[in-house]
Amino acid sequence: MINKVNERVKSISVPGIRIFANQVAAFEDGINLTIGEPDFSTPERVKQAGIDAITNNLTGYSHNAGLLELRQSVANFFEDTYGFSYDPEHEIVITIGASEGIDSVLRTILTEGDEVIIPAPVYSAYEPIVHLSGATVTYLDTSETDFFPDPQKLSQLITDQTKAVILNYPSNPTGVTLSKERMDELVNVLKKHDIFVISDEIYSENTFSGTHHSFATYPELGDKLFLLHGLSKSHAMTGWRIGYVLGPEQLMEHVLKVHLHNAICASLPSQFAAIEALENCRETPKQMNSAYVERRDYVYERLKNMGLDAIKPTGAFYIFPSIQKTNLSSLEFAEQLLEKEHVAVVPGSAFTEFGEGYIRISYANSMKNLKEGLDRMERFLNAIMA
Ligand SMILES: Cc1ncc(COP(=O)(O)O)c(C=O)c1O
């Protein structure tokens, strides 16, 4: 029966991010520097809100778009933090993590033959969903521009087939964030075209220098913007699976249909926990950020001393050093580091061909593990460069 399986599904590969994490688990002394989630626990009062919901039998379905109370909390959060507002009744849908939001939005807008532009290197989960819809991805290479998308290059890539641009800042895997000036330049291009803008700002609360700027603050993009967000990273809630999509009413009406036919609604106890996180735990990301900044500085200095160039990240919890001077491909580097030193990193090629020549290290890990992992990486480098 295998020949009956959708060819598009067959062509999707297992994400490179996972492969090394699975392999390092086989080593008793393995150090996993691939982790894409906070190494902190969900705040106690958020956990308790989830437990209370279960105890009180709040375990059924909710409104398909999510509890109105939660949508209101989402709206309050963005209004208070970034000063833009969305109508909780018609412009917000609670999803099963940002992942399901990505899927629902892309399936709402894409059809056969459409093109989607994505600056790369980039998180690997967008492309497979685009492909499943019969659309194609055009990558905007940022590797020559310090991982910032060049507005002129973006403009040149837009064709009559372009349906959407996906932006992800703070960026996974590079850790770069966009200044207001850079965003202005991109918006100047985007506003001229009838194309959707999908902004995945899931790492917004993990911004280390200055404050995060959201594409949702630009009225020029109002009728074409989908904002993707969620609590996985900001509140150490990856397993609770709560995300949200915000967009204009005329579009969200259709996103809701795709979401509800797929998922009915997000988990109800998780939705109650999410209300607690958004209303009463606004300081949580800041507490995590102070640890991330200390680790970032440590990892950056260590890499520099090893002779590996990297852009100092200003957001998320990843660093993306160049390994070009080793003359190994990023896959060879990751494989040999794993085999010789039992340290797992993600090869840059897992984030498209434009990530080749780099590796992604996550510093959502203890200082002890980071130190040990980097000691071993240094030994590995000394051995291969000798
Ligand atoms: C850029 C980006 N978007 C979305 C997600 C998925 O988030 P969620 O756990 O909310 O589905 C991730 C997870 O690593 C991510 O890095």
* pLDDT per 10-residue tile (average), the chain, 386 residues: 94 82 92 94 98 98 98 98 97 98 98 98 96 97 97 98 98 97 98 98 95 97 97 98 98 98 98 98 96 98 97 97 97 96 96 97 97 98 92
Q: What is the pLDDT of residue 14?
A: 79
Question: 18, 167, 172: which to mutate for ligand 1, most atoms within 8 A of CB?
Answer: 172
One-letter amino acid at 255 equals V
Q: What is the pLDDT of residue 15?
A: 75
Whole-model pTM: value is 0.97
In the three-class reduction of DSSP (H, G, I as helix; E, B as strand; rest coil), residue 207 is classed as strand
Give residues with Cβ within 8 angstroms of 221, minimum separation 6.
Answer: 187, 190, 191, 197, 215
Question: 202, 235, 240: which to mutate for ligand 1, most atoms within 8 A of CB?
Answer: 202
One-letter amino acid at 47 equals K
3-state DSSP: the chain helix, strand, coil percent, rounded to 5? Answer: 45, 15, 40
- Identify whether the C-beta of residue 264 lies closer than 8 Å to the C-beta of residue 61: yes
Atom index in ligand 1 nearest the CA of residue 99 equals 11
119 prior amide bond cis, ω within 30? no
Atom index in ligand 1 nearest the CA of residue 37 equals 14
The DSSP code for 8 is H
Whether the CB of 97 sits within 6 Å of ligand 1: yes
Ligand 1 centroid from CA 101, angstroms: 10
Whether the CB of 172 sits within 6 Å of ligand 1: yes
Q: What is the pLDDT of residue 13?
A: 84
Q: What is the pLDDT of residue 210?
A: 86
Extended beta strands in the chain, E state = 31-32, 92-95, 115-120, 136-141, 162-167, 196-200, 225-230, 243-246, 318-319, 343-344, 346-347, 359-362
